[in-house]
């Protein structure tokens, strides 16, 4: 894979800047799809569990995972586990088949030692770093053989708890006049209101 790859280009558009972590998630997602022998999720067929948290290095990983797997914030089929680790577990919701793809320590170390990270540590936003300082680390992730980037666990079976059916009913808040999904409506002084209005004193 290289920078001409359509998935990479789409990932870059979604993500907004060049960096090694987004491609790291992209390739992890692709590796997981391949291990399970499934296609990218056009609906909610798959669940992605990412072990990253927030405000730490390489959280951009999750955007690559979203792009590759089709598990997105909007569909609600990607979850952060908050462990501060660069690992993806992908689950096929229909069969319960699951695979864990862990980024190899030496790959993370290589990133940490890249010129790119030295600027990030000084607080320079990724978009303000010269592309030629980012590209070597990024191109490495794009081109390296999958097995050199990740430890790909065996495919195991997990129990999938079916999600609740989607709610389509809505209300109009009697205070702010905005629409809210019915399940989130509250009663305040006998009137139907949204949560922020219910919590207003």
Name the residue nearer to Zn ion (CB basis): 87 or 194: 194
Name the residue nearer to Zn ion (CB basis): 47 or 69: 69
Q: Does 185 bind Zn ion (CB under 5 A)?
A: no
- Sites for Zn ion among residues 21-60 (CB under 5 A): 22, 60
Question: CA 112 → CA 90, 127, 137, 199, distances in Å?
Answer: 26, 18, 10, 44
Q: End-to-end CA distance of the chain, in Å?
A: 55
Q: CB of residue 197 vs Zn ion: minimum separation in angstroms? A: 3
DSSP string, 68-82: HH---TTTT-EEE--
Name the residue nearer to Zn ion (CB basis): 148 or 191: 191
Q: Does 124 bind Zn ion (CB under 5 A)?
A: no
Of positions 8, 12, 19, 77, contacts Zn ion by CB under 5 A: 19
Q: Which two tokens stand for residue 190?
A: 């006998």
Of positions 40, 155, 175, 192, contacts Zn ion by CB under 5 A: 175
Distance CA 16, CA 42 (A): 23
- Which residues, in sequence order, are bridge partners of residue 199? none
Q: CB of residue 46 vs Zn ion: minimum separation in angstroms? A: 23
Q: Does 138 bind Zn ion (CB under 5 A)?
A: no
Instruction: Identify the helix (H) or strand (E) that includes residue 8.
Output: helix 6-15
Q: CB of residue 67 vs Zn ion: minimum separation in angstroms? A: 12
Task: Please report how many Cα atoms fall inside a 13 Å half-sphere around the Cα of residue 80, on the Cβ side.
Answer: 14
Question: What residue ranges bind Zn ion (CB under 5 A)?
Answer: 19, 22, 60, 173, 175-176, 194, 197
């Amino acid at each position: 894979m290289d920078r001409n790859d359509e998935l990479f280009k789409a990932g870059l558009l979604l993500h907004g800047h060049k960096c090694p972590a987004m491609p790291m998630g992209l390739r992890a997602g692709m590796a997981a799809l391949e291990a399970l022998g499934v296609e990218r999720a056009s609906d909610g067929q798959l669940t992605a569990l990412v072990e990253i948290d927030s405000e730490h290095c390489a959280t951009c990983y999750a955007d690559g995972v979203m792009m590759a797997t089709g598990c997105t914030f909007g569909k609600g089929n990607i979850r952060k586990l908050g462990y501060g680790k660069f690992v993806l577990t992908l689950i096929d919701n229909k069969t319960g088949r699951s695979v864990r793809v862990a980024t190899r320590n030496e790959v993370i170390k290589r990133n940490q030692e890249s010129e790119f990270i030295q600027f990030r540590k000084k607080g320079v936003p990724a978009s303000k770093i010269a592309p030629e300082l980012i590209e070597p680390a990024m191109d490495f992730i794009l081109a390296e053989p999958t097995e050199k980037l990740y430890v790909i666990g065996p495919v195991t079976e997990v129990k999938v708890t079916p999600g609740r059916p989607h709610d389509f009913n809505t209300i109009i808040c009697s205070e702010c006049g905005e629409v809210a999904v019915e399940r989130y409506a509250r009663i305040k002084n006998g009137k139907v209101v949204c949560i922020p209005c219910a919590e207003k004193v």
